[in-house]
Amino acid sequence: MIQLLAVIAAASVCYSNLESETVRFFLTISVCLRELLVFVLPFLLFSFVAVALSAIPKEGMFFVVGLMAVVSASNFINILISGGVGFFILSGVEPRPMPESRLIFSPFFELNLPIVAETVHALFAGVVVGFLNSLYPNRYVSAVIRLLHDFVLKFMKKFFVPLLPVFVGGFLLKLFSEGKMTGFVEQNTKICIMMCGFLWCYLTLWLLASASFKLPRAIEIFKTTFPAIVTAFSTMSSAAALPLSLAAAEKNTRDKVLADAVMPLTMNFHMVGDTILVPIMALIVMLAFNHPLPSLLNFVMFGVFFVLNKFAGGGVPSGTIMVTVPVLKEYLGFDDTMTAFIIAFYGIIDPIATSGNVAANNFFVVIFQKIRNSVKNKFCSWKTA
């Protein structure tokens, strides 16, 4: 944690004194590490989900279906809330477009590792294998998925996590050097503060709800989750923060099986930060380009398909906005210029959105545990009645 904070501070202070080749050198290392992460991610998702569901006999189907229903409802409600808040904020604020960056830094080379499987396919395979193995246990299948799980976990803990400061540093130097960390905020300070402030006020309600509105418990949960939030902010990757999120979820719930099942499943498609920020950002772009705001029906349809697209998210920087572009064009009337603008806009907000996603999912796992326990208790009371 101290190392990560030191890297953030150093990048913000030293970037202006570094040669462009130095920035590109560190960026190349970060890009290579990100490619390794993306390559390993399908194995990580498959093994964690399969192992977790294999350990939940007879409850696999109900668990997954219940979790997906709760997550989808949460995403949709967040979008509706965001739309309402966006209309309210923009009624008194006139946003201005982001200036063009004069410098664009690119890595010297990329590894171009193959994509073994799409993350959504890996998740589906993990759910199927884990569910079948929970209904019809097979010691050979259990041994294989456990071996893969342990290997991936060792890779993350022994290799990737120790290199997090380097991974973070390269991307931060790029963002600072290109002016993307300051350019837009300088021109749109008020709207950025209001939008991001609302997100964190909203997340505070999630935190209090996870703690049953008990302040000491809320402080304890936040303290445990803070390393994962900082990692997500600095790397713009939920995947990079996953090992820390798993550790925090296990400590906050005192249930390793639940933590290992919920965190990987929700990482890619339960994105509270995105579902709060992206709709407001879309409204800002529409006003900036003198485009009429959407009707209620169009916004609801946008919300429906935005939720469905969460199941195709990759958990990597800017992945959300890329898969959302077709929905923006279809239901909000975005043209190519507006699309390019919102992608650039999201590049600035991505650290805040990703850290919001990770924070909410860490709070969500505690809330989900309460919901699950409540349903179990009611079901047991009905059976004994």
pLDDT in tens, 292-319: 888 889 999 899 888 876 654 444 445 5
CA distance 254 to 295: 45
Task: Let me know: does 216 contact 234? Beta carbons within 8 Å.
Answer: no
3-state secondary structure of 317: coil
What per-residue confidence (pLDDT) applies to 122?
80
Beta strands in 149-272 (DSSP E): none
Considering the entire predicted model, what is its pTM?
Answer: 0.67
What per-residue confidence (pLDDT) applies to 258?
85
Other Cβ atoms closer than 10 A to 126: 26
CA distance 339 to 125: 33
Mean pLDDT (the chain) is 80
Q: Identify the structural domains of the chain with CATH numbers, from first to last.
A: 2-384 (1.10.3860.10)
What per-residue confidence (pLDDT) applies to 317?
46
What per-residue confidence (pLDDT) applies to 1?
46
pLDDT in tens, 2-53: 566 677 778 777 877 888 888 889 889 988 887 887 788 788 778 877 887 7
What per-residue confidence (pLDDT) applies to 247?
92
What per-residue confidence (pLDDT) applies to 182?
58
Q: Rounded to whole angstroms, what are the CA distances from 222 to 26, 248, 257, 333?
A: 31, 9, 21, 39
What per-residue confidence (pLDDT) applies to 275?
93
198 pLDDT above the threshold of 90: yes
Would you give the DSSP letter of residue 159? I
